[in-house]
A and B are shown apart, each in its own frame.
Chain A
Amino acid sequence: MSIALQVEKLNKHFHEPEDFHVLHDISFSVNKGEFVPVIGKSGCGKSTLLYLLSTLDTNYDGKIIINGTKVTGKSQNELARFRNENIGFVFQFHFLLPEFTALENVMLAALKLGRLSKTEIEEHALDKLKQLQMDGFAHKLSTKLSGGQQQRVAIARALINDPVMIMADEPTGNLDSGNTKIVFDIFRELSRNKGITVLTVTHDLDFAKHADRVIEMIDGRII
């Protein structure tokens, strides 16, 4: 099995309000198609770790390799392009753009990538929405959807460019148990059948119980 994510000796400090060593010598790797929840108490650094891995936060020591590409040391513009092609994001809050419909929200990142024509992208985006049973709401404004629906659209958005990885920060934090189950099943399905690596920070132990493998963190270290 090929390695999707490799992390070597990751160290991170917060300098404000006072120097704080958040992550201590973190090294691990994740295979392609693995579904890996990251769990741990509040403040253990699991979210911080996720944002380092997602390339959004570049202020760290160590090395991160995603899908065979060393992302450490790349410029902001290169990283933006890299994220666009390779990483899908899901957050606790859906962060859908309020001026756009569900379908358009899904399409934006693909339009940015510019690899397909607009009609192809639209087709593609509808497929993704269908996958999440959201195709019936494609032309609704994102603000007109319920919380669970919004989160499903957000997941479809994360999938639009067929990323190698999905990084999720508390994706079920705002959802009831029914919707949580749906999101969990989707992630599961993506990793099993599509070979997408899913890395998700979560509080939900149920969520973690059924995963292939769990990364648990305490005080900035993996145990």
Chain B
Amino acid sequence: MNMPILLPLRKSSAMNVDTLIARRHLMANKKQTLVAMLGVTFGIAMFILMISFMVGVNQFMEDTMLSSVPDIHIYNDIKTDYSASIAKDYYKNKNTLIAVYHPKPKQIALNIKNADGIINDLKTEKGIDAVSPMISTQVFYSYGPVQINGYINGVNIMEESRLYDLAGKMTDGIPENLLTSDRGIIMGHGLADKLNLKMGDMVTLATPTGTTMRCRVVGLFKIGMSAIDNIRSYVNLADAQQLMGRDKSYITDIDIKLRDNTLATEKSIAFTKKYNYKAEDWQTANSSITASNIVRDTLTMVVSITLLVVAGFGIYNIMNMTIKNKMKDIAILKAQGFAGKDIVQIFLSQSVFIGLLGAISGLILGFLLSFALSRVPFPKNDFVALNFFPVIFRPSHYLFGLVFGVITPFIAGLMPSLKASKIDPVIILRG
């Protein structure tokens, strides 16, 4: 007659009671909750700030580098092997040992033979965005009595512009000016400053072999690296060939821009093999920058993880203290039928809540700090063209921060919570 009445179990209230208790604990110790939360907040904020800044710096370095270095550069490397000698041909078929002592290097043409063929072939290749043939030579720039040493690049300006986005780096004029003017020259900003050249001025170029040419300044560019802006100028390919006394097919370098520059290494190896000229990818040409990127990334990770681990220890401490204070409560809850997993849930959810709230406020703080930093003017100098500190805002960083901000308190809270669930209520209830 005393049959237990089977009512449908309303799981929700049973599940909620654990979170209800957790919430009360958090609210009862607001100050302590806040302190634990701030640990995570600062950890995550610093992580966001550091990674945004470091990746910003990396990106800036890479951009600057790529604005002056092609993805792949094909050129005729000077051979340093002087062991071959025509003496061998003369004495052939005789048992003679031939040794030429200290030979002088012979004159070699550094041009790429069949450059047109290679360029046409490259243009049919997949994944290539732009191909720019080029010749380069050392010149003296003279304007009035001043002479300055530098380089000119003879280029097809439209191709070159696609490679390096020259249009966006012109401080005066446009790249197309080179095509519409007779013997025009687009000059590096620093170089023009030194010579006090303005748009429309005539400058004389003199090669080491003695030939000269007068050109009119039709544009000024500023890439942002003094090593380039102070010495380089662009002229039409034909003008450069004429200045050097070479024919129309004389090309010394081919610069390539890829659609995906991460493929540069494998492509460059393939090109070296295919065309039998040296093909160098941008990573190899700038291995020092790639290396410093790795150093910065590692540093960011180490510092961020340290901050989060410290925050994790803070939470661990506070949870341990809370549990020590709540021994009686845990004992009576267990007596009343709360299982070990309920106790774990009560305390772990506090820890995760602290983490979640800390992480979210950390992301907001991190964003604000990063934003503030991105508005701080960068100290002016001649070497880098930076107006503000380089900061990058990337959603993946924020997602990573959030995940890490939740996982760290979870792990930190797990141990004290498990300990709490193992408390023997008898010892406490007996007093």
Chain A residues in contact with chain B, CB under 8 A?
47, 51, 54, 56-57, 76-77, 80-85, 89, 91-93, 95, 97-100, 108-109, 111-118, 121, 157, 169
Contact = CB atoms under 8 A, between A and B. Distances in A.
17 contacts: A51-B426, A51-B429, A54-B335, A80-B334, A80-B339, A80-B340, A83-B337, A84-B338, A89-B332, A97-B24, A98-B329, A100-B24, A108-B333, A111-B13, A111-B14, A114-B15, A115-B10
Contact of A83 (B9, B16, B335): B335
B336 A89 contact: yes
B14 A112 contact: yes
Contacts of A157: 336
Given A51-B426, A56-B425, A92-B431, A117 B10 contact: yes
B27 interface: yes
Interface string B1-35: 00000010111111111001100110110000000
Contacts of A169: 429-430
A115 B16 contact: no
B393 to A, nearest CB: 41
- List the 9 closest A-B pairs by CB distance, nearest first: A84-B337, A114-B14, A111-B17, A95-B332, A99-B24, A80-B339, A109-B336, A99-B28, A83-B337
Contact of B7 (A51, A92, A115, A118): A115
B341 interface: yes
A77 B341 contact: yes
Nearest to A85: B337
Contacts of A82: 337
A100 B24 CA distance: 8
A112 B429 contact: no
B431 A89 contact: no
Nearest to A83: B337
Nearest to B428: A95
A5 B363 CA distance: 58
B342 interface: yes
Contacts of A112: 14, 17, 336-338, 342
Most buried by A among B10, B331, B340: B10
A9 B273 CA distance: 91
Given A83-B337, A92-B431, A99-B28, A114 B426 contact: no
A116 B339 contact: no
B426 A57 contact: yes
Interface string B317-354: 00000000000110111111111111000000000000
A118 B13 contact: yes
B94 to A, nearest CB: 99
Contacts of B11: 114
Given A111-B14, A116-B10, A81 B337 contact: yes
A139 to B, nearest CB: 15
Given A93-B431, A95-B332, A121-B13, 12 more contacts: A76-B340, A84-B336, A89-B332, A97-B21, A97-B329, A99-B24, A108-B336, A111-B13, A113-B14, A113-B337, A114-B10, A169-B430
A3 to B, nearest CB: 13
Nearest to A115: B7
A78 to B, nearest CB: 9
Interface string B189-222: 0000000000000000000000000000000000
Contacts of A118: 13
Interface in B118-172: none
B328 A95 contact: yes
B389 to A, nearest CB: 47
A91 B336 contact: no
Given A114-B9, A114-B14, A121-B13, A95 B429 contact: yes
A77 B334 CA distance: 10
Contacts of B14: 111-114
A37 B106 CA distance: 117
A108 B17 contact: yes
Contacts of A76: 339-340
Chain B CB count within 10 A is highest, among A93, A97, A112, for A112
A51 B7 CA distance: 30
A111 B20 contact: yes
Contacts of B431: 91-93
A111 B28 CA distance: 21
B7 A56 contact: no
Contacts of A93: 328, 431
A97 B426 CA distance: 17
Contact of B429 (A91, A113, A117, A121): A91
Nearest to A75: B339
B25 A99 contact: yes
Nearest to A92: B431
Given A111-B14, A114-B13, A115-B9, A99 B341 contact: no
Contact of B335 (A89, A100, A116, A121): A89
A149 to B, nearest CB: 17
Contacts of A77: 339-341
Nearest to B336: A109
Contacts of A84: 336-338
Contacts of A100: 24
A116 B21 CA distance: 19
Nearest to A77: B339
A95 B327 CA distance: 10
Given A95-B328, A116-B10, A81 B430 contact: no
A205 to B, nearest CB: 21
A50 B346 CA distance: 28
A68 to B, nearest CB: 10
Contacts of B342: 80, 112
Contacts of A117: 10, 13
A117 B25 CA distance: 23
Contacts of B336: 83-84, 89, 108-109, 112, 157
A82 B25 CA distance: 26
Nearest to A93: B431
A92 B328 CA distance: 13
